[in-house]
Structure 1
Amino acid sequence: MDQLADAELAAWLAAFRENPGSPARTAGAAAIRSGQRQRAAARPAGPDLAEVSDRNIDEVAVRVYRPAESRATIVYAHGGMWVIGDLESHDRACRLLAEATSATVIAVDYRRAPEHPWPAAVDDVVTVLRQAIEAGGPVFVMGDSAGGTLATLACLRLRDEGAALPDAQILAYPNTDLTLSRPSTRTKAAGWALATDDVAWGAELWVPDPARRADPRVSPLYADLHGLPRAIVVTAEHDPLRDEGDEYADRLQRAGVPTLHRCEAGLVHGFLTMDLVSPACAAAARRLFTDLTTLSEGSGGD
């Protein structure tokens, strides 16, 4: 087996390979969502904050995480193949993020496929991001996995409209190519926590027309990236999405967008929500939070 970052992650992955569960196509969205909610409920809660509240922003449901002192705002889009994931699946991660960065985190409970295919989720993130920018102060948009797709598509939408942009886009192991044509989707296709075919299933539900999956309004890797906000892009070595994330970071840099890019050695997709599984995953999340804090301090935060 290719080397993993620590013994805890190796043991977790070995157990996963022994009992990987049903493929997403077989299980279906409802069953996967139910299982994910049960796992989230069993997970220890994240840190207490000055405020954690659910509300609506122009009819988009959000959860606001506010530390005692807030120097910036992070609009957060969760991962989940555009089909699963919700406020509960990423509650602990958002609490840790708010505490570590001293930023107010606004987690977007965006509409998911198959009930709401593209562009509903992008519309929801744009709505929340636009209001956060209008409110003033340093504003960042952040997403992991499919949420990374939404974060950068929201930036592209605002840029194309000539609207104000966030100060930065922060992407953890993002989907950037719904055609799933990069080499790592084959070399890491199965046995590494995220299966390429599960991602393909999600892409098919979110964008049913295969001809549209290379559309730059769907797959940011095919977009003109000039004029986007600066970026932090962190990928994982043993992730089928690694190559498209790495290539997106490279294309940002070639388009003149200041970009911090790191590929975390020995880690798998999803490490941001695996801090209780592996010290190496927890350390990678802290590195990303530190990167964001440094960015915030350079953006005029107090």
Structure 2
Amino acid sequence: MRSPMSGHRTFRPSITDRLTKAVMTASGSVPAPVIQLAGGAPRRIDGQVLDPHFQAGVRVMSLLSEGEYEDMPLEKARETVERSAYTVSGNRIELAVVKDLVLPLAGTDRPDDETARADLPARLYSPVHGDDPLPMLVYFHGGGWVLGSIDSHDATCRYIARMGGLKVLSVDYRLAPEFLFPTAAEDAVASFRYVRDNAESLGVDPTRIAVGGDSAGGNLAAVVCQQTRDAGEKTPDFQLLFVPATNMSARTRSFELFGEGFFLTGKNMDFYENTYLRSDDDRLDPRASPLLAEDFSGLPPAHVATGGFDPLRDEGEAYARKMADAGVTVSLRRHSTMVHPFVNAVGATPLARAALSEAVGALRMGLAY
């Protein structure tokens, strides 16, 4: 459902959803050996052991599943993502400011093109009141460029704002199939440019503006850095890439190892990419596959966090290595016991919170505050 106030989808949890969330939140405080009883024998693949909380969570999600996203009507799939995110979001983190707003990005450069710039809903998070400038993370949610919203990633953004002591702007970029590639990429670039060019009015330190996101959102954050660099503009000051999708032109070994049974599946990715892209030619475009860029020099410092049991693991790590080889300052962290996308499970497992806290520490170091 779309909210008439902000334009983004609003999920309304049922009693069953609330009970499931309560159970998942409580299980996050249960010791791993006890959780192991519910999750079954440890899963061991590629020298890694799946965390008991995630193993139990995958089992619970499987039992509650209404099917795969690619087999559902689109609106049902979108609602299912919102429900899944809600159940693992944990207790709400209160902040001084959580405000829905609209980014005035609409232009007249392509008046006959429905994919031209549009005003976009967004949500601003701040740990403090007042106008004193703070660093900002412009965040792009995951969901395969097809699913997800600023609501599905609300808990993640709240956690980053609280733990990082900075502002977070979560952008509700336009989704496929209503808006095909490269609309999401163009929305992401336009959103960053708006924050960069209006930092003072937003109460943002203009020298400390980062971009970040998970999965498809990590893809968009990487694209923002490449596109602004290529345009000769001021780039983001840091990039925070969680389990990023970086290459739609090929499949890696991690797809073979983890393409079934670990939340994100290979068929999910096929569905997302086929829904987002206009043709196979788009797979070779760096705005879809940033790993295929010819030049990785001059990009902002980065923290790349991957999950050990994630089909996207290898391409995310390949992207980090490409940047490092080009002289970019990069920290790469494989969370070997986790599935995709662990940053959204802050309410269900202490390891997810620890991983997110570690990334926030890298962000603070990268922005030097």
TM-score with structure 2 length normalisation?
0.77
Q: Does 1:162 align with 2:237?
A: no
Match of 2:100 in 1: 54
Give the deviation of 1:272 after TM superposition: 0.3
Within a 5 Å distance, the mapping from 1:144-293 to structure 2 comes to 144-223=214-293, 224-293=295-364
1:178–1:88 CA distance, 2 compared to 1 (3 A): same
* 2:334 partner letter: C
Match of 1:137 in 2: 207
Q: Which runs of 5+ in 2 are unaligned?
A: 1-42, 105-118, 200-205
Give the deviation of 1:137 after TM superposition: 3.2
* 2:340 partner letter: H
Q: Distance in 1 between matches of 2:261 and 2:193?
A: 39
Q: Distance in 2 between matches of 1:90 and 1:280?
A: 18
User: Identity of aligned pairs, percent?
Assistant: 33
Match of 1:63 in 2: 123
Greater mean deviation of Cα atoms: 220-229 or 41-50: 41-50
Question: Which of 86, 106, 113 in structure 1 is aligned with 2:169?
Answer: 106
**RMSD between aligned alpha carbons?**
1.7
Give the deviation of 1:99 after TM superposition: 0.5
Question: Which of 29, 46, 58 in structure 2 is aligned with 1:13?
Answer: 58
1:252–1:41 CA distance, 2 compared to 1 (3 A): closer
Q: Distance in 2 between matches of 1:146 and 1:81?
A: 5
* 2:172 partner letter: D
Q: Distance in 1 between matches of 2:91 and 2:149?
A: 15
Q: Distance in 2 between matches of 1:269 and 1:225?
A: 25
Give the deviation of 1:18 after TM superposition: 4.9
Give the deviation of 1:112 after TM superposition: 0.4
Superimposed CA distance per residue, residues 25-55 of structure 1 (whole angstroms, 9 cap, x where no aligned partner):
2113211111233445565453111111111
1:249 is paired with a residue whose SS is helix
* 1:68 partner letter: V
TM-score with structure 1 length normalisation?
0.93
Greater mean deviation of Cα atoms: 192-201 or 27-36: 27-36
1:219–1:165 CA distance, 2 compared to 1 (3 A): same
CA contact (8 A) 1:61 1:109 kept: yes
Superimposed CA distance per residue, residues 84-125 of structure 1 (whole angstroms, 9 cap, x where no aligned partner):
000110011101110010111000000000001111111111
1:256–1:232 CA distance, 2 compared to 1 (3 A): same
1:171–1:49 CA distance, 2 compared to 1 (3 A): same
Q: Which runs of 5+ in 1 are unaligned?
A: none
